[in-house]
Amino acid sequence: MNSKTGQFNKPQADLTENIRILKQKKNAIILAHFYQVPEIQDIADFVGDSLGLAQKAATSNADMIVFAGVHFMAETAKILNPATKVVLPDLKAGCSLADSCPKDSFTAFKEKYPDHLVISYINCSADIKTMSDLICTSGNAVELVESFPKNEKIIFAPDKNLGGYINRITGRNMVLWDGSCEVHDVLSTEAIIQMKIDHPDAKLIAHPECKAPVLELADYIGSTTAMLNYTMNDDAKKYIVATETGILHQMSKNSPDKEFLIVPTDETCSCNDCPYMKLNTLEKLYLCMENEQPEIKLSAEVISMAEKPIRRMLDLSKKLNLIK
Ligand code: 13P
Ligand code: SF4
């Protein structure tokens, strides 16, 4: 880094090489979410969805987990592997969905439903996890909710879109916290309808964080990993993809003969990058490995309370054959 200009001097090839050297020297593992920029995905030891990343973090025996994702994901890694140092390239890489559910308001909300079980989507803070009975991800939410009796009273937080989707397809009436993701919430239904007219041979695949009108139009709904697998195993040649742009990197890599069209937002912008995921850059990744910070720190109490519902999710997912 040039101290006068604040600019990073290393070209990308050097950075990549230096990250590889640091990885070996520090016995570090790089875990990256599908929404990271391609150059980070390409240097990661594992690229996955929230569920896959949590599993990898839980079983890692590296000395340092470098989490190329957002804050709640790095927190989850720390909770599942507290003895290991967890670093995040940019501590400001938060999540609008997690931020939509502050601890104090959720405490008051929960008090209104004392006989309800709390199932929280993993996109929430460690504090919300401590107040939850079970955590789920977009990769297992429907099955985990369905593992409870139909008459079980449930609060689902913080994503009203995912919760509403589960309510619709399971016929349940879970009480929903009023939160959503600022990226998925603004994907344009009008643009999708036009894209379907322009590309009648394309299938629409959508993340369950999208709002109901988008999900109603979808041929397939699933987590980022599920969508990726779908495009690899399905025989269509063209897909309209309703989620964050980062996933296109693995889709194109795994199916180079297929075409992927990203759904634009209904704002003026034609791209839908998650501004938090995209705070991480190759430069910041290198620096956080070199300096071993910013580091994720949580109190022992929070770790022990938040671990229970996450472990419950992993155990139940195994029991239900959703993961190995
Ligand atoms: P996944 O569960 O597919 O990783 O989704 C996480 C996320 O943040 C989507 O916005
Ligand atoms: Fe959070 Fe949405 Fe970004 Fe996912 S895409 S990390 S839910 S803000």
- The structural domains of the chain, ordered by start, are 12-94+277-297 (3.40.50.10800), 97-180+305-319 (3.40.50.10800), 187-262 (3.40.50.10800)
* pLDDT computed for residue 11 by the predictor: 74
Q: Which atom of ligand 1 is nearest to the CA of 225?
A: 3
Mean pLDDT per 10-residue segment, the chain (324 residues): 52 89 98 98 98 98 98 98 98 98 98 98 98 98 98 98 98 98 94 96 98 98 98 98 97 98 76 92 98 98 98 98 94
CB of 274 within 6 A of ligand 2: the answer is yes
- Ligand 1 centroid–CA 121 distance in Å is 10
Instruction: Say how far apart CA 187 and CA 241 lie, in whole Å.
Output: 10
- Ligand 2 centroid–CA 212 distance in Å is 17
CB of 185 within 6 A of ligand 2: the answer is no
* pLDDT computed for residue 4 by the predictor: 47
Instruction: Report how far Cα 277 is from the mean position of its chain's Cα atoms.
Output: 9
* pLDDT computed for residue 5 by the predictor: 44
* pLDDT computed for residue 142 by the predictor: 98
* pLDDT computed for residue 264 by the predictor: 85
This prediction's pTM: 0.94
Beta strands in the chain (DSSP E): 28-33, 46-48, 64-68, 85-87, 117-121, 134-136, 154-157, 175-176, 203-206, 220-221, 238-242, 259-262
